Amino acid sequence: MGRQVAIVSAGYSEHASKRSDVSMPELVNEAIEDCLAKVPSVELKDIDAFVNGNMPAFEGSNIPELWMTDWMGARNKPLMRVTTGGTTGGSVAISGYYTVTAGIPGIDTVLAIAFEQQSQGDTSVGLASVAYGEISILNSLGISYDQLNRLLSAGAAIGVAAYQATTYMSKANITEEDLARVVVQNRRNAAKTWWAHLKMPDLTIADVLDTPYVQYPLRYGMVCPASDGAVAMLFTTEEKAKDMCDIPVYVNGVASVANETAVLGYDGSGSAQLDPSEQLGAMKSADLAYSQAGISFPRKEIDYAEVYAPFPNQELMWVEKLGLFEETTAPEMYETGVTAHKGELPVNCSGGVNSTNAIAASAMERPSEAALQIMGKASNQVPKTVHTSIGSGWGGSLNLITLMAMSDEPKRKWK
C-alpha cells in the first residue's frame, strides 16, 4: 500500500515566444526558484530525488537533463527523465507522484520539472521523425510523394484537432463563433496571469473571426502559440507536507490512458476511431482517477478544472468527456458564464494551453495550476473556495490522456 502524496508548491518561469535572455538550465532554474520561494522552510538540500522531462528533439540538444543537473541541485541524487510527447508534463507529474508513493527508503521529497525552449531547437525536425515513418507507410500503399495533401495530417497535432473540430461542431451544432468565445475567455484570463504568454485583455470574438484559416475550421487566432518556459512542482509525503505549508494539496487520483492511433493508424491503415471526438481514452481516464479519488458526481464535487486544450474545440470536448458537463452542453456553459473566472465551475483561469504552450511544460502547468488554486496562491485566483480540482493532459497521435485529481483532504481509496 502506497503513501498519501501531497503537493506543497509549484513555480513557473516567465513564458515568451523567445526567451533568448536565458539558456535552458537558467530557464529551469527560474522555475525552481519560484517554486521554492513559496515554501521558505524547504531548501535544495532537502529534496531527495528529481524527475525531469521535455519533448525529445524539440530543444535541439541531446540529454539536456545532464546539462542542467547542477542548476536543479540534482548532483549525487537520483534523477529520472520521462518523455511521452505532448503529455510529457502530465507524465512527469505522475512520475513524481509515484516516486513518493512508492515508499523508497530515504526518498520523501521529490521535485518534478518540465521545460521546453522551442526557440533553440526546431520543432519540425522533431516532428519529421514522426512524419517520415508515416510517409514511408503511405508509400507502401502506393501513394506517391506528390500527393502531399494526403500527408498533411502526419505528425502535427492540428491535423488531428481539425478532424475533432469538424465532428464536434456537427455533433453539438455550433458555429465558429462558439469556438472564438472559448479563445476570448482564455486569452483574457491569461492577461491576469503573470507567467502567461499571449496576454490579450481586450480581445473580442470579432477579432478572432477576422484572422485567416490555418486549417478549416480552425483559424490563426484560435491556435495555441509556441512558447519557451518551465514549470516545477514539489511532491512530498502527508506528514512532511503539514510542516512545509499551510494548505497542502493531496493527490487522490492519477490516470494515464491511451487509445489507438488518431489519424493514420498502425501501418497507415486508417483510423479505427470513426468519430474523432468520441475520446474513449478521456472517459476511461476520468473513470479511473475519479474512482481512486472517491468522486462520484464530478459536476458537483469538482470546483475547478484545468484541461489541456491547445485548440478551443478541444476545451469544449474535454470538459464534457471528463464528466464536468453533459454531452454537447459545454458551448452553452461558456455562453452563460458558468466556466468564467467568477462562475460556478471556473475552467482554465490561467489562460490554458491556448494562451501558453511550452510543449512539455504545458501538460504539467495544468495540475500545478489546479493545485495552486486550492492553496490560494494562484496568479489569477478564483473568488470561490476551491476544495477539489483536476488537471488533464493530451498528446497528439496516440490520444494519450493524463489526469490528476487533487483535493485539500487526503481521501485516496486504494483498490
Partner 1 sequence: MSKQTQRKSMDYVKKEYKRTRTMPANWYLSSYEYKFNITHMQPFLKKLKEKKLVANKCSGCNRVFFPPRLVCGKCLVKPDRWVDIRDTARVATYAIAYLKDENSEVQEKPMVLVHHDGADTSSIAELAPGVDVKDTYISMPIKAHWKDNPEGGLMDIEYYDLMDDDAEDLNESK
Q: Can you give the binding site for partner 1, defined by CB under 8 A?
A: 136-144, 147, 149-150, 152-153, 159, 162-163, 165-167, 170, 173, 212-217, 260-261, 263-272, 274-276
| Helix or strand run (H / E) with residue 307 | none
Give the cell for residue 112: 518534478
Pick 143 or 226: Cβ nearer partner 1: 143
- 198 exposed, middle or buried (CB, 10 Å; 0-12, 13-18, 19+)? buried
- Strands in 249-257's sheet, in edge-to-edge order, are 79-81, 49-53, 110-117, 228-237, 5-12, 249-257, 400-407, 388-395, 304-306
Distance between CA atoms of residues 272 and 256, nearest Å: 20
Least distance in Å: CB of 25 to partner 1?
30
Residue showing cell 529520472:
80
Least distance in Å: CB of 258 to partner 1?
10
Pick 124 or 136: Cβ nearer partner 1: 136
Least distance in Å: CB of 273 to partner 1?
8
Distance between CA atoms of residues 408 and 250, nearest Å: 6
Least distance in Å: CB of 312 to partner 1?
15
C-beta of residue 398 within 8 angstroms of C-beta of residue 258: yes
Least distance in Å: CB of 174 to partner 1?
13
Centre a 10 Å sphere on the Cβ of residue 187 and count the other Cβ atoms it contains.
Answer: 24
> Residue 164 contacts by C-beta under 8 Å, 6 or more apart in sequence?
276, 277, 311, 313, 314, 317
Least distance in Å: CB of 18 to partner 1?
24
Reduced 3-state DSSP string for 107-134: CCCEEEEEEEECCCCCHHHHHHHHHHHH
Distance between CA atoms of residues 134 and 187, nearest Å: 35
Pick 138 or 295: Cβ nearer partner 1: 138
Pick 134 or 369: Cβ nearer partner 1: 134
Nearest to 283 by CA among 312, 259, 248: 259
Give me the count of residues in the chain. Answer: 415
Least distance in Å: CB of 125 to partner 1?
13
Pick 260 or 335: Cβ nearer partner 1: 260
Least distance in Å: CB of 130 to partner 1?
15
For residue 217, cis peptide bond before it (omega within 30 degrees of 0): yes
Pick 114 or 162: Cβ nearer partner 1: 162
Pick 164 or 362: Cβ nearer partner 1: 164
User: 352 in helix, strand or coil?
Assistant: helix
Least distance in Å: CB of 313 to partner 1?
11
> Residue 213 contacts by C-beta under 8 Å, 6 or more apart in sequence?
219, 220
Helix axes 176-190, 312-321, angle to 10 degrees: 90
Least distance in Å: CB of 49 to partner 1?
34
Pick 61 or 269: Cβ nearer partner 1: 269
C-beta of residue 275 within 8 angstroms of C-beta of residue 252: no
- 246 exposed, middle or buried (CB, 10 Å; 0-12, 13-18, 19+)? exposed
Residue-by-residue DSSP string for 40-65: TT--GGG--EEEEE--TTSSSSSSHH
Least distance in Å: CB of 172 to partner 1?
12
